[in-house]
Structure 1
Amino acid sequence: MAYSIRPYKDVDAEDLAEVIHAAIEVVGAHKYSAEQVAAWAARHPGPERYRERVGSGDVIFVAAGPDDRPVAYALIELDKDGRAHLDHLYCHPDHTRRGLAVELLATAEEHARASGATLIYTEASELARAAFERAGYAVTHRRDFEIAHDGSPVAIHNYAMEKALD
């Protein structure tokens, strides 16, 4: 299947909400408990959040299939101190292991460099960590924290990672 990387369009919001939930619920279940997956997924509301993020200046790059529907995406926000934060990198489970993370990371990094960022950082899940490491990111530390879900704290973790931009 042929994919293309392109900028976000407003009509993508519904598909991106589906991508993130499918990724968390299906792929996330490989390394996280059902309780952790439910808490993680609940932190990501519907399509309106993508419109809000883009409206506030964040940038989304989309990997689209031949029908131009999103199957993966990266969301990046630029700090005022010369750093870029890669806040989301998600791929629909039906489209994993096809190089889309690599392409999206390269596109996000190119955007960050062009915007003057000298460092890009992220918080990678247990599952995404390897993709970031292959792209040259280094783990700075493991982040253990809790997410409030259904009135109870749910322990979960991810990895703070960063990469210097040349």
Structure 2
Amino acid sequence: MPVTLRPYRDTDAEPTWQVFHAAVRVTGAMDYTPEQLEAWSPDEVNLEAWGRRRAAAWTLVAVDGDRVVGFSDLTDDGVLDMLFVHPDVGGQGVARLLVEAVLGEARRRGLTRVVTHASRTARPAFERLGFVIDRENPDNWTRGVRVPNFDMHLDLPAEPG
């Protein structure tokens, strides 16, 4: 069954958290230490707060059948804040599908630039999608632990018209 996208629902808090946690702990382990991974994605989460954050942004989920396998979002100020894909479906185009949908929404909103804060792990995928690095953040701190990342952006061409 092909992966499809749909808007975030209130019932997606736990499955999107599970995708996030698996992506950070498994995929992120290539580029971050166990201490960094624990700070970035602790074992315990407040699902109510997590769900509010997802609902506050324009969030899409990728589903395979009825299983959530990825998600991404766009905040009102043009930040692609979250892009996470379950390791089970990594490398299958799910991230590209999500980012292309987010960029489409950004264009519909009339945005001319989308920014993101990419992990070391996600940076190559964002670069393949046209994002460029603005700066490296070697001293990005999460829960008292240094978790380096990159500020990146993609300029959106003006719509013809």
Contact 1:40 1:147 survives alignment (8 Å): no
Distance 2:22 2:126 in 1: 20
Q: Is the 8 A contact 1:22 1:93 kept in 2?
A: yes
Supply the RMSD in Å over aligned alpha carbons. 1.8
Q: Which one of the candidate residues 104, 114, 139 is aligned to 2:133?
A: 139
Aligned residues: 157
In the TM superposition, what is the alpha-carbon distance from 1:142 to its structure 2 partner?
A: 0.3
TM-score by length of 1: 0.87
* 1:27 Cα offset (Å): 0.8
Give the letter aligned to residue 131 of structure 2.
Y
- Counterpart residue number, 1:124: 118
The alpha-carbon distance between structure 1 residues 130 and 55, as it changes in their structure 2 partners (threshold 3 A), is closer
Conservation of the 8 A alpha-carbon contact between 1:17 and 1:46? no
1:25 correspondence with 2:25 = yes
Q: Which residue of 2 aligns with 1:69?
A: 67
**Larger CA deviation: 16-25 vs 34-43:** 34-43
SS at match of 2:81: strand
Task: Answer 1 or 2: which has greater strand percent.
Answer: 1
Of the candidates 75, 78, 91, which is equivalent to residue 76 of structure 2?
A: 78
Question: Which of 149, 152, 156 does residue 147 from structure 2 map onto?
Answer: 156
CA distance in 2, matches of 1:93, 1:110: 25
**Greater Cα offset, 134-143 or 36-45:** 36-45
The aligned amino acid for 2:108 is A
1:53/1:154 Cα in 2 relative to 1: closer, same or farther (>3 Å)? Answer: closer
The Cα shift of 1:43 comes to 9.9
Q: Which runs of 5+ in 1 are unaligned?
A: none
Q: Which runs of 5+ in 2 are unaligned?
A: none
Q: CA deviation at 1:52?
A: 1.2
Q: Report deviation, 1:46.
A: 3.7
What is aligned with 1:107? Answer: 101
